[in-house]
């Protein structure tokens, strides 16, 4: 029975991938960290999911972070407004090289609920602009990742089409812990490159700047593989460039816009 169900799901997936060629090409918020300024089409569900890994070795302490099936669901409720739901199964492991003591955590990360509003549709030098906000809900996380803090992300996103080949995306915002009056500035810049119809690339610089801690700054790059107008695969990797950053990180995934 399970084999037949898997076959049916696969056929539906393939059919839907071919069914949306009449729609505009898919625009995603992965694999780079820079959120696009474009919302999904009205009454359309878009799934963006993948796996990521990061590794850090600082002062004799090795840290590994894993994200299994990190998934963002985007639903177009209005022409220029979408609601967003994010979930991920996370793994964390930290080892003291000298003592060989290891701490391991695993479970569901806090559920994330948010919106994206396309404030302005760009034209030429005028950028496309969007406002995004989301809230982490620790009560819906596993015990290992329930720190109790309710964090809100507030972000402005801008994007420019520079030519038939190049595009630029910029993000600026904050992660706010209102209860403890703790704020972390977020920023990113991503250059998109359209190589051929079935292959794109990007290079990106982004970072996080807590109010009273070292900043975390990173560079990364990757490739996107649009299979159809509503289906895209991706792969990326990068490195940290500051004291508080991972040595290396990488990931891969897919984005699928389900037909109406």
Tens of pLDDT, residues 193-219: 999 999 999 999 999 999 878 899 999
Return the domain boundaries, the chain. Answer: 2-258
Looking at the chain, the whole-number percentage of residues with pLDDT higher than 70 is 92
- Token pair recorded at residue 249: 């990180």
The pLDDT value recorded for residue 20 is 53
The pLDDT value recorded for residue 214 is 86
Q: Of 65, 68, 47, 48, which is closest to residue 56 (Cα–Cα)? A: 65
| Predicted confidence (pLDDT) per residue in 21-50, tens digit | 567 899 999 999 999 999 999 999 999 999
- Token pair recorded at residue 247: 């040595």
CB 64 within 8 A of CB 92: yes
- Token pair recorded at residue 189: 């810049």
Using the 8-state DSSP alphabet, how is residue 140 labeled? Answer: G
The pLDDT value recorded for residue 3 is 47
Of residues 142 and 10, more confidently modeled: 142
CB 186 within 8 A of CB 171: yes
Torsion angle in degrees (nearest 10) through CA of 9, 12, 17, 23: -130
Q: Of 237, 232, 240, which is closest to residue 208 (Cα–Cα)? A: 240
Give the confidence band of 230 by pLDDT, cuts at 50, 70, 90: very high
CB proximity list for 65: less than 8 A, separation 6 or greater: 53, 54, 55, 90, 91, 92, 246
What number is the average pLDDT over the span 237-257?
96
HSE-CB for 251 with a 13 A CA cutoff: 25
Q: Among 2-6, 82-86, 183-187, 229-233, which stretch is predicted with the lowest mean pLDDT?
A: 2-6
168 three-state secondary structure = strand
State the CATH class of domain 2-258.
Answer: mainly beta
């Amino acid at each position: 029975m399970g084999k037949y169900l898997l076959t049916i799901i696969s056929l539906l997936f393939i059919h839907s991938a071919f069914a949306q060629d009449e729609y505009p090409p898919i625009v995603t918020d992965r694999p780079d960290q820079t959120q696009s300024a474009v919302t999904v089409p009205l009454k359309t569900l878009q799934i963006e999911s993948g796996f990521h890994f990061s590794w850090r070795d600082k002062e004799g302490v090795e840290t590994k972070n894993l994200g299994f099936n990190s998934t963002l669901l985007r639903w177009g409720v209005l022409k220029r407004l979408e609601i967003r739901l994010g979930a991920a199964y996370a793994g964390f492991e930290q080892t003291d090289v000298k003592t060989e003591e290891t701490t391991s955590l695993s479970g569901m990360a806090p559920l994330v609920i948010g919106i994206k509003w396309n404030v302005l549709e760009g034209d030429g030098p005028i950028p496309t602009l969007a406002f995004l906000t989301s809230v982490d809900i620790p009560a819906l996380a596993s015990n290992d990742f329930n720190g109790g803090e309710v964090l809100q992300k507030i972000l402005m996103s801008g994007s420019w089409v520079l030519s038939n080949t190049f595009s630029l995306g910029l993000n600026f915002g904050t992660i706010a812990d209102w209860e403890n009056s703790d704020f972390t500035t977020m920023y990113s810049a991503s250059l998109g490159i359209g190589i051929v119809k079935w292959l794109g690339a990007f290079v990106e610089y982004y970072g996080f700047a807590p109010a009273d801690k070292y900043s975390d700054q990173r560079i990364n790059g990757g490739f996107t593989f649009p299979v159809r107008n509503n289906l895209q695969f991706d792969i990326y990797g990068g490195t940290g460039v500051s004291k508080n950053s991972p040595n290396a990180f990488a990931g891969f995934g897919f984005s699928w816009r389900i037909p109406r």
